[in-house]
Structure 1
Amino acid sequence: MAVTQRRLSLAASSGSLDSVAGSEKPSDEKCADEFVYTKHAEDGVFAWMVVLAGCVQAMITLGASRAHGVYQEYYMVDEFAQMSTATVSWIGSVQNTTLNLCGVFVGILSQVLDTRIMCAAGSLLMGLAFILASLSTQVWQLVLTQGVMYGAAASFPYILGVTVPLQWIKRRRGLALAVVYMGSGVGGMWISILTRYCIDTVGRAWSHRIIGFIMIAVGVGLSPLIMSRRPARRPERILDLTVVREWRFLFIAVASFFAMGPNTIPYILLPTYTADVLKESSRLGSTLVTIINVSGIFGRFVAGVLSDRFGPVNMLIVWTLLAAFSQLGIWLPFPTVRAAVASAALFGVTGASIVGMILNALSHQYGVTRITYISGLIYMTYSVSSLLVVQTTSLMLDTVGHGTNYTWPIVYTGLLLVVAGVVLVAFRIKLSPRIAFVV
């Protein structure tokens, strides 16, 4: 009790978030009784094992989504060459939309079900989705299997894999999230390489089967570690929307809508951009996706360390504006291989880290006891934005760009990130106008 009072007095004297917001901020200490304290302590060895398990879950879920550009290029150039970009893009856009849209349902179910069982079931179904995709020969079939079924199933190990570890880590939460999301970069890297190799050697169908079997084996095998510290119990309200009316949530939701929507565009457009504009081989397109994922590993680590030091909101502003610069300052004005490589590298460091940094900001604003549910609401905004942005970008490329001019899709992506940066700056000022304020 004395510790809590001392913290509140220090917060009041330093102009902290509580005094700025005019309301009491939820704290993990006040919800400590909601946790199940077993022999495994927070910040201990087991806690970091949960973090590593979350890292691998992100690797096979979000990593596979990040590698979709390889499939997109194959569909556009070979299997469905006669179809428009907008039509084929439904596979990837529906996949990403469903992956995030189901986050709120994962959050609700995580309050009443064992997270380990949920994670295992999702891993099994997402692997089966890829195996069924290997039997699909039409775009609509791939939309249902590689898109809807995979996205809905993968949301379970993905959402749980990135939120449950937060319940176990307190002192280095930014670093823990960085480690978890580094998995998506690692996964995007090796899954892109493996997918390209399999397509070239054994064909697209077997590439789907091989990835599907890996998802099942790895995902189900690591599910026992995705163990929530909260007891499974029925909440007072299944769908509690009171948080939606809070100004902090609204700011973060609007920022995520503009920032995370264009998050997948470079992954999707760069492979076809290299063939249509740079006139380079398909291998360069796969290499650019790999560059994004490799640099994302470094970017997530740096973002996590700096967020622990300077605050997640502060670093989120910097990373978002740098991501916008990678599109508007490098990719747009310089249609060269070197510029494409530089843009991919900078976007990998910054843009690929935005999702994890937003989740880190949420944990600092609301604590971690309900982070799975609250983050699920944020991921809903991401899912709507992702669908709108991907389809709008594809329509721009088909209509204004006539399939070969990428100017307006790049401008559109960059401007969305600029708007997100402006919203975050306004949020930061409302939290505190002090430049040196860590938030």
Structure 2
Amino acid sequence: MTDSEKRLSHMPSSATLVPEAECPKLLKPAVGEKDCEYTAGCEKDDEFVSGRYKEDSLFAWMVVLAGCIQAMITLGASRAHGVYQEYYVIDEFAHMPTATVSWIGSVQNTTLNLCGVFVGILSQVYDTRIMCAAGSLVMGLAFILASFSTEVWQLVLTQGVMFGSAASFPYILGVTVPLQWIKKRRGLALALVYMGSGVGGMWISILTRSCIDTVGRAWSQRIIGCIVMVLGVGLSPLIASRRPTQRPQKLFDLSVLREWRFLFIAGSSFFAMAPNTIPYILLPTYTADVLKESSRLGSTLVTIINVSGIFGRFVAGVLSDRFGPVNMLIVWTLLAAYSQLGIWLPFANVPATIASATLFGVTGSSIVGMILNALSHQYGVTRITYISGLIYMSYSISSLVVVQTTSIMLDTVGHGVDYTWPIVYTGLLLVVAMVVLIVFRFKLSPKLALVV
């Protein structure tokens, strides 16, 4: 048994795994000094945070609520892009290939996550409240400018690049800053934050469809832009970091890339988080092309994913606190893969599609929050914004590749109407992620009863 496994075997079930490199003690302790233990976050963390409000206080849960609403207007708006995708493909840009139109959503999602590492760096130097407010302001402006766009390339720049890069600030800060305030129920806190994306995806999808049908696409984007701007800027004062701002010794500290725990988490997120966007994008057009149903059903399916995701995130958070985020990630990824390969693929009918969307909403939409929870368990919260930014960067690359590859599959192999290979592709990526997580779990410890 290795030293790491010995430490794990004596660790309390509620402890949080933190690698030695993150602990305040020296990597090689002095004579007579005990090795740095895996504890529930480095205890020295509290010496570097503000003492005005304590962890797990009422204000701490207000920060969680603010993070929930920031996720609602950022990730929720991104999840609702499937409604715009359907309108662009079927109506406004029907003469263009699906792969070309898909650049709007794929670039939006890519920049939303790619800029995460820069948000992590800047959050160490600048006030997170100001960063959140500035990002929210530009995010709303991006939607308003998109309303005046008439070409795909213009929408790629506004609704894609501009919105995605600006939204990364309130999004990344909204999901990582609350981790600095919550210690006892961190899984539940993350679940509540990410439940916001499900709520946002639900009402923004419904509002977008209603606005497009009544006042048109342009006014729909102006209305959404004003809403996200007001909510984002108004709640920014609550996204307050507990750590004082200070310039880091290295702007890009890539030492974590050599840590095997980080590499396993990054690998699993690379394969698991990218397919997370595919059902949101494909289901609206799938209902029209394959099921021959109205666009209303497509919007309803996106809403079903978001509503079931609210329940799924809550359950995932509670179970992660009880059984460990890595253990639950394996189960959730397995069920997400089954929703694609076991339900959606073999049964091309409305009930099966609804069942697939529901199960995927419960499981697939929870994966991103559970991965962030696993990171906090492994590394504590001192540098969680920066480290999670690196994870989101890897996710952004895979997301761009997966979304575009899926669109090309649909246009070439599927001739725009056969969704078989895109569904298989999505499911197999989740299977690969599950295998990576299983190897990671047994590398942490072969003991099945251990909470990790």
**Is the shorter-chain TM-score for this pair beyond 0.5, marking a shared fold?**
yes
- Contact 2:7 / 2:38 at 8 angstroms: preserved in 1? no
Q: CA separation of 1:211/1:18 partners in 2, compared to 1, >3 Å: closer, same or farther? A: closer
Distance 1:224 1:408 in 2: 46
The secondary structure found in structure 1 opposite 2:95 is coil
Pairing partner for 1:313 from 319, 326, 339: 326
Distance 1:20 1:396 in 2: 45
Deviations 1:172-199 (A, max 9, x none): 0000000000000000000000000000
Pairing partner for 2:10 from 10, 13, 26: 13
Pairing partner for 1:219 from 232, 235, 251: 232
- 1:183 equivalenced with 2:180 (yes/no): no
Distance 1:278 1:284 in 2: 10
The secondary structure found in structure 2 opposite 1:334 is coil
Aligned to 2:25: none
Residue type at the aligned position of 2:347: F
- 1:150 equivalenced with 2:147 (yes/no): no
For 1:26-425, list aligned pairs within 5 A: 27-38=41-52, 40-425=53-438
Residue type at the aligned position of 2:54: A
Distance 1:19 1:226 in 2: 27
- Gapped runs of 5+ residues in structure 1? 1-7
- Contact 2:11 / 2:38 at 8 angstroms: preserved in 1? no
Q: CA separation of 1:113/1:195 partners in 2, compared to 1, >3 Å: closer, same or farther? A: same
Deviations 1:93-121 (A, max 9, x none): 00000000000000000000000000000
Once the two structures are TM-superposed, the CA of residue 30 in structure 1 deviates from its matched residue by 2.4
Distance 1:104 1:410 in 2: 31
Once the two structures are TM-superposed, the CA of residue 31 in structure 1 deviates from its matched residue by 2.1
Distance 1:401 1:25 in 2: 51
Distance 1:309 1:10 in 2: 20
Residue type at the aligned position of 2:51: Y
Once the two structures are TM-superposed, the CA of residue 41 in structure 1 deviates from its matched residue by 1.2
Once the two structures are TM-superposed, the CA of residue 369 in structure 1 deviates from its matched residue by 1.1
Distance 1:124 1:37 in 2: 30
Q: How many pairs does the alignment contain?
A: 431
28-37 or 268-277, which moves further after superposition?
A: 28-37
Distance 1:169 1:352 in 2: 22
Higher helix share: 1
Distance 1:274 1:220 in 2: 37
Aligned to 1:3: none
The secondary structure found in structure 2 opposite 1:77 is helix
Distance 2:359 2:203 in 1: 19
- Contact 1:20 / 1:431 at 8 angstroms: preserved in 2? no
Deviations 1:368-405 (A, max 9, x none): 11100000000001100000000000000000000000
- 1:435 equivalenced with 2:432 (yes/no): no
25-34 or 291-300, which moves further after superposition?
A: 25-34
Once the two structures are TM-superposed, the CA of residue 260 in structure 1 deviates from its matched residue by 0.5
- Contact 2:186 / 2:373 at 8 angstroms: preserved in 1? yes
Distance 1:276 1:110 in 2: 45
What is the TM-score normalised by the length of structure 2?
0.93
Distance 1:83 1:32 in 2: 55
Residue type at the aligned position of 1:219: G
- Contact 2:18 / 2:378 at 8 angstroms: preserved in 1? no
Distance 1:226 1:18 in 2: 25
Distance 2:322 2:394 in 1: 28
Once the two structures are TM-superposed, the CA of residue 12 in structure 1 deviates from its matched residue by 5.7
Distance 1:222 1:29 in 2: 30
- Contact 1:363 / 1:371 at 8 angstroms: preserved in 2? yes
The secondary structure found in structure 2 opposite 1:357 is helix
Deviations 1:144-191 (A, max 9, x none): 000000000000000000000000000000000000000000000000
Q: What stretches of structure 1 move > 3 A for 4+ residues in a row?
A: 8-12, 14-26
Aligned to 1:4: none
Distance 2:362 2:270 in 1: 20
What's the Cα RMSD here? 1.8
Residue type at the aligned position of 1:264: T
Deviations 1:52-102 (A, max 9, x none): 000000000000000000000000010000000100000000000000000
Residue type at the aligned position of 1:13: H
Distance 2:272 2:6 in 1: 35
The secondary structure found in structure 2 opposite 1:402 is coil
Residue type at the aligned position of 2:330: I
Distance 1:399 1:277 in 2: 16
Once the two structures are TM-superposed, the CA of residue 23 in structure 1 deviates from its matched residue by 7.7
Distance 1:337 1:10 in 2: 51
Residue type at the aligned position of 1:218: L
Distance 1:20 1:237 in 2: 20
The secondary structure found in structure 2 opposite 1:302 is helix
Q: CA separation of 1:171/1:394 partners in 2, compared to 1, >3 Å: closer, same or farther? A: same
Question: Between the two proteins, what is the percent identity of the paired residues?
Answer: 81
Q: CA separation of 1:213/1:242 partners in 2, compared to 1, >3 Å: closer, same or farther? A: same
